[in-house]
Every structure is written in structure tokens, then in C-alpha cells.
Amino acid sequence: MSFARLREGGPLRKTVILVGLALFTFWSAAPVLWLIISSLLEQKALIAQPPDLSPQNFTLENFSTVLAAAAALGRGIANSLIVSLFSTALALVLGAPAAYALARLPVPRANGIAFLILATQMLPGIAIAIPLFIVISKLGLIDNVLSLGVVYLSFNLPIVIWILRGFFLGIPSGIEKAAAVDGAGIFATFWYIVLPISLPPLSAAAVFAFVEAWNEFFFALILTRQQAQTVPLVIAQFAGQYQTVFGQMMAAAVISVAPVILLAVLFRNQIIRGFADGMMKG
């Protein structure tokens, strides 16, 4: 159904659609709204049932407490930014040519290789935790943000390859043939023709990889100590054995989620186009 036909519908039809969209928006945004609300509530108001949302229970104390201990959170955000950007950049640099090769070049058993790459994602992290720890430890790279970034590459690279391969498969072959007629080789075609028209899926893959790295917890837990701790570890510190300081945890989450939301807002058009163009054709 086109928007033109929707626009032609009666007021009732429009109202139903608007209400439906509003409900869907609320449904999607509710967890984030609750995150913000609970970051502003006192602990005793949060544990009441139902939560006591009286105005006197709202406070900025959770934020001031978290910011007073800002060293850990600030370092966590900085580490997460470095790890996520490093891992995402590397995944794009390595993943885009790999995806192009698997999609457009005469690689023997390209589909098999692609599925093998996907299969690496089926291995649970815990299965490789100890061997990985030994390797990183022997290299003296425990508690190092860049080594964490390289580890994250192992799950970001397959994601990038799969998103981009789907997009590259959908590019009309005539474009590449025309480039070849003009004398462009494989690398020139890839660099000057394919990449410039692949910005939406590249952006989508980048955001996806960035968010994956930003949220990762398990490998950050075992491969860092104090200096390279990332944001998820810092947030988890508000949950102890006997006590969870929900308000402060939520305040830390609100602060730390800001860069990711900013990224999603800045690249929202590219993300939507990228997923539509890439994943659907995969």
C-alpha cells in the first residue's frame, strides 16, 4: 500500500494508523524512557510496588554520585570509544574487500566460505575464553584496549562481511563491466566505483559493529583489569552481591549510552538505507 493511497483514506483510517504508529513508537521507546526515569528516582521509590513516581522522589543525586566517581566512568567511556572505533575501522577495512571478493570475484566455493565465516559466530565465547586469555597474556596484552579491539574484530568482521556481501551481490554487473571497458582493474573498480555507492551499507555495518563492540561484556571482563575496563564493566559495578544500586546504575547507563544514540541519530538515514539495500538482498 502506497502512502498516496493512505493519504486518500478517511479520517478514521488515518487516526487508526496514527494511533498504531504512536503505540509502536511508545512500545519501542518505553525501555529507554524507563531507563531515564529510573535514573532520576531514589532507590526506595524504585523498589516500591508500583514504583513511587511522586515528584518529591525525583532527584539528580544519582547523576551527581556517578559523576563524582567520574574517573571510572570517564575512563570506561574513553576505553569503549577507542576499542569500538578501532575494531569497527579494522572490520570495515578488512571486511569490505573480503565481502566484495566473496560477492563478485570468481572465488572457489565462495558460498561455503561465507557460511564458514558465519559459522564462527556460532561458537560460544566461553569456548575460546581460556585459549584466548593464554595467548593475550603471553603477549603481555592483558588490560590493553587495542588487544581488546583485535578480539572484537573476530565477531565484528563476520558481521561486516555478511552485511556488505548482501549489498555487493545486488549491484548491477553492468556498472563493473562499464568500468572494465574504461580500463579499470579489480582494485580500481572496487575503490572508485563500488565503494562510493556503498556508503549506506558501510555506515550500517559500521554502526552495527560499533554497537556490538560498545556493549560487549564477557571478553572485556576476562581480558581487562583496571586501566582498560570498558563501559559495560563500569556499569556492572553498581550491582554487588547483596545490593544493586539501581538509580546510579541507570544514571551511568544514561550517560554511557549517549554516544551510541548520537551515532545512530547522525547516521540514521544511512543505517536504514544500508540495511534495506544490504541485508534484504543477502
Binding site for another protein (CB under 8 A): 42-44, 47-49, 129-130, 133-134, 137-138, 142, 221-222, 225-226, 233, 236-244
Three-state secondary structure along 37-62?
HHHCECHHHHHCCCCCCCHHHECCHH
In DSSP terms, which residues pair with 201 in a beta bridge? none
Q: Which is nearer to another protein, 73 or 233 (CB)?
A: 233
Can you spell out the DSSP letters for 48-110?
SSS----GGGB-SHHHHHHHHTHHHHHHHHHHHHHHHHHHHHHHHHHHHHHHHHHHHS--TTH
Helices (H) and strands (E) counted in the chain, each on its own, are: 15, 0
Q: Which is nearer to another protein, 4 or 127 (CB)?
A: 127
Minimum gap (Å) between residue 131 Cβ and another protein: 8
Minimum gap (Å) between residue 159 Cβ and another protein: 25
Q: Which is nearer to another protein, 6 or 239 (CB)?
A: 239
Q: Which is nearer to another protein, 244 or 270 (CB)?
A: 244
Minimum gap (Å) between residue 211 Cβ and another protein: 22
Provide the grid cell at 233. Answer: 564493566
Q: Which is nearer to another protein, 72 or 169 (CB)?
A: 72
Minimum gap (Å) between residue 213 Cβ and another protein: 19
Minimum gap (Å) between residue 30 Cβ and another protein: 21
CA distances from 179 to 17, 172, 183, 192, 196 (A): 46, 12, 6, 9, 14
